[in-house]
Structure 1
């Protein structure tokens, strides 16, 4: 791999695209084992430059300059300043809400332009996804001028809170009498809290992109709690995020995440190390024992036990060891450049571990028992665990982000399939500031065949995860013409339609497909989607839907997760067993054939 030259799959471009789908999937999955996406080093370098310049240098310079805590290069003088902590959180929310932090750039499927976010959300007429139909005033799926005003108001309120100087705080002075920088004015939190909620009720995409499930509680703490309570609540919040993520990695899914993630890391150049995460490359590319160890010792165990140690330890050296472990944990994730590229989030959480647990140790009056009221502690804990508990029990009701299941492998997911030529119809959607990714790549100079193979690498990546085998099984069992169809990873298609993707299939479910259908008008059979919900923590199955854009949901069913994880990505033994629980009422044979669903 060179700086500008990537490791493209070694395929014959004249014949490869004519081969059966699973033969192509196998070739690309095996290539992924050793090269990942095969991106040139220029791509991760671009992310590093963005992270260092925009997030770290611009962010910390702006924050320290407006907070009166000394020059930016004097890190020792400001790293444990409470106002710096507050503003770094707000700066991160601002960048996420604009769309230049997570889910940005070519690794996230944004090629030209490399930003989604603001290009969609500040533009009337684009697709809007409301979270709950029952909320009055949120009807429709089209962004209005009101939506744009609310969104731009959110950005302005966040920027205002970042740039205004701190104000004195009696609760801060009582603990740190020598502090002169103060805290962000509590009243400055009112506007971003209200606007983020309003934006989220109108369009869940903006709320999720802003990482509202994690930063909204922090902003509430900034606005209403006295200083000691704010610090302790922040510790409870970050531990809830860590522990929730650790719990979500129970089960069979997460082990399948580690091998393709390591394979795609530019910081793991050794093919031997990458192959070691698979059982018997190239014959068997299910996860190896090493991958299992990395997943459930380096991942699950670290994310559950270490936060508990940090939350209750009063021993400096034990706390220091826990902080170092969590910082290394987040740096490792950053080094792998996961496809949602939440790099700013990981850097922030590394800093938060240092600030909260070393800057304000439990033994110095900042422990859980030091909160002003036990009742307040219980209320905060209950609020923090409500959505993770509900989301694990009923994943259909809660996005995987408020469920704290980030990058656990247990995702709602989908594959979109188009009849020949039908994908081009997406480019007719009005007000859309992008085109399909395959067209974006060609606009950058990629030959058509190269662009197509590049996009098919993403479905090979999906096949290497547990739910991918189930999705491909449904499509294989229900579509006789699958080999001739264009198959797309829904995450990438989604971000070209709404400006954001983050592994959350709730952003491209039947409601999204319906919104697309109203704008495009696909004929029966032109767009057929297989969509699957996350696995509930107490269940052994995943529930899928087969959706024909022109007809709606035509089939529901489930598969056993054990069957999915035990199969190879290219399904050499055919589709895994499927159990159908519902099919649409009898239609004409022509409609059934066009929908891609069997007649019943």
Structure 2
């Protein structure tokens, strides 16, 4: 792999593209196992520079300068200042809301331009996805000038809170008498809180793009709680995020996530080490015992047990050890460059670990029992757990982000299958980017290699549990699948609305309906297979087949246990599917009744 050249599969492009779809998936899945996405090192360098210079250094400079603190290189004098933490959160929310933090750049399907977010959300006429149709004043699926004004107001309110100097806080002075920097003025936080909620009711994409499920509670705590309660509430928030994500990994999905994630990491240079995460490369690409240990010891156990130790420990050395483990945990995730590239989020959580649990340890009066009221503690716990619990029992009702299922592998997801030539029709959609294949071509890729690069993303999907089910449904429903153009929905979604973080709810029927209004696909030109996350207590995942022109044409289920036991390229054919409803089958009785009614009339 070169610095500016991608690590492309060792195939003849003309011959490769004529092969059957699942044979292409076999070749590309094996290629991913050794090379990952194959991005040039330049791409990773850009991400690292953005993370270090724009995010980390930029955030520290803004926080220290606007809070009248010593220069950024005097780390010992600002790292445990509460206003620095508050402003670092605000800085993160601002960058996420603009669209230059998570889900940015080539690894998120944004090549030219590399930014989504503001280029879509500040432009009238782009697609808007309201979360609940019953909310008054949210009708429609296109962004208006009013939506643009709401979005601009949110950015301005965040910047105002960030840049304003701190103010005195009686509760802070009582707890930390030597502190002179104060806190962010609480009244300034009301506007971003309200505007984030209103923006989210009009367009869930903006709310999720701002990572509102995690940062909105933090802003609320900054605004309304006295200092000690605020610190304890922030500890509860990060605990729920960690443990929620860890608990969501208890299942059959997460072991499937680790091998392709490690394979994509530029920090793992040895092919033998990447291959070791698969049972028998290249014949058997299911997770090896090493991958299982990485998933459920290095991942699940660490993410559940260590945060609980941090939250309840009153021993300094145990707390330091647990904090070190969590910092390493987040830095490891950064090193793998996951496709949603949540690098800033992981750096913030690494800093939050040190700030909250070492800067304000439990034994200094910042433990759960030090909260001002047990009713407040109960209310905070109930509020923070509500969406994770609801979202895991009813994943159809809650995005996987508020459900705290980051990286769990249990995702709502989809693949889109275009008839030959139909993909180009997507360029009729009002948006600020072209189709990804066109972006790669404009970036300098030959068209055939751009196509193969795009197919690597669907090969990545086959390496996960839901991918085997999605492709099984494709094979069952589309006899012409080998001639179709199949795309990963997460990448498609990024080009249509400027953001995706692995949440299939952002590219469900609502998005497809909005796209169809502008594009006008003919029946059969675009067929989507979409699947919901697995619910707690269920052994199946529920899928839909959606024709862009006709709507949902089939519903059914597959067993997760059967999906995880198959190879990415389905050498034994599609996994068993149970069709629970089909448009074609439901139309037959109606057609028969009509025929019988017609004969009766003639008689």
What is the TM-score of this pair, normalised by structure 1? 0.97
Aligned to 1:37: 37
Trace 1:479-558 onto structure 2 (pairs within 5 A): 479-558=478-557
Q: Look up the SS of the partner of 1:15 in the other structure.
A: helix
Aligned to 2:445: 446
Answering whether residue 204 of structure 2 is matched by residue 201 of structure 1, we say no
Give 1:585 deviation, angstroms.
Answer: 5.3
What are the ranges of 5 or more consecutive residues in structure 1 without an aligned counterpart? 593-600
Aligned to 1:569: 568
Give 1:503 deviation, angstroms.
Answer: 0.5
Answering whether residue 166 of structure 2 is matched by residue 162 of structure 1, we say no
Distance 1:471 1:532 in 2: 7
Aligned to 1:92: 92
Q: Deviations over 1:334-372 (max 9, x none)?
A: 000000000000000000000000000000000001000
Q: Deviations over 1:395-445 (max 9, x none)?
A: 000000000001100000000000000000000123x11100000011112
Q: Deviations over 1:315-337 (max 9, x none)?
A: 00000001000000000000000
Distance 1:276 1:76 in 2: 42
Trace 1:108-257 onto structure 2 (pairs within 5 A): 108-257=108-257
Q: Look up the SS of the partner of 1:487 in the other structure.
A: strand
Aligned to 2:315: 315
Q: Deviations over 1:55-78 (max 9, x none)?
A: 011111111000012111101100
Distance 2:382 2:440 in 1: 47
Give 1:588 deviation, angstroms.
Answer: 8.4
Q: Look up the SS of the partner of 1:528 in the other structure.
A: strand
Q: Look up the SS of the partner of 1:200 in the other structure.
A: helix
Q: Deviations over 1:447-490 (max 9, x none)?
A: 11010000000000000000000000000011110000000000
Q: Look up the SS of the partner of 1:388 in the other structure.
A: helix
Aligned to 2:59: 59
Trace 1:332-411 onto structure 2 (pairs within 5 A): 332-411=332-411
Aligned to 1:286: 286
Distance 1:588 1:371 in 2: 61
Distance 1:5 1:121 in 2: 32
Distance 1:34 1:445 in 2: 24
Distance 1:562 1:257 in 2: 15
Distance 1:588 1:364 in 2: 69
Q: Look up the SS of the partner of 1:530 in the other structure.
A: strand
C-alpha distance 588-224 of structure 1, shift in aligned 2 (>3 A)? closer
Aligned to 1:597: none
Aligned to 2:472: 473
Aligned to 1:595: none
Aligned to 1:598: none
Q: Look up the SS of the partner of 2:358 in the other structure.
A: helix
Distance 1:374 1:38 in 2: 52
Aligned to 2:597: none
Matched positions, count: 589
Give 1:141 deviation, angstroms.
Answer: 0.3
Aligned to 1:464: 463
Answering whether residue 28 of structure 2 is matched by residue 28 of structure 1, we say yes
Distance 2:502 2:429 in 1: 23
Q: Deviations over 1:504-555 (max 9, x none)?
A: 0000011111111111110000000000000002111000000000000000
Distance 1:2 1:528 in 2: 37
Aligned to 1:68: 68
Distance 1:217 1:429 in 2: 35
Distance 1:559 1:270 in 2: 36
Give 1:587 deviation, angstroms.
Answer: 8.3
Give 1:6 deviation, angstroms.
Answer: 2.3
Give 1:291 deviation, angstroms.
Answer: 0.3
Q: Please identify, of 84-93 and 441-450, the stretch whose mean Cα deviation from structure 2 is larger.
A: 441-450
Give 1:40 deviation, angstroms.
Answer: 1.3
Distance 1:155 1:244 in 2: 29
Aligned to 2:103: 103
What are the ranges of 5 or more consecutive residues in structure 2 without an aligned counterpart? 592-603
Aligned to 2:600: none
Q: Please identify, of 174-183 and 344-353, the stretch whose mean Cα deviation from structure 2 is larger.
A: 174-183
**Which of structure 1's runs of 4+ aligned residues deviate more than 3 A?**
585-589
Distance 1:399 1:13 in 2: 38
Distance 2:587 2:522 in 1: 15
Aligned to 1:416: 416
What is the TM-score of this pair, normalised by structure 2? 0.97
Q: Look up the SS of the partner of 1:90 in the other structure.
A: helix
CA RMSD between the two structures: 1.0
Distance 2:92 2:364 in 1: 28
Give 1:586 deviation, angstroms.
Answer: 5.3
Distance 1:467 1:511 in 2: 21
Give 1:39 deviation, angstroms.
Answer: 1.1
Distance 1:281 1:516 in 2: 40
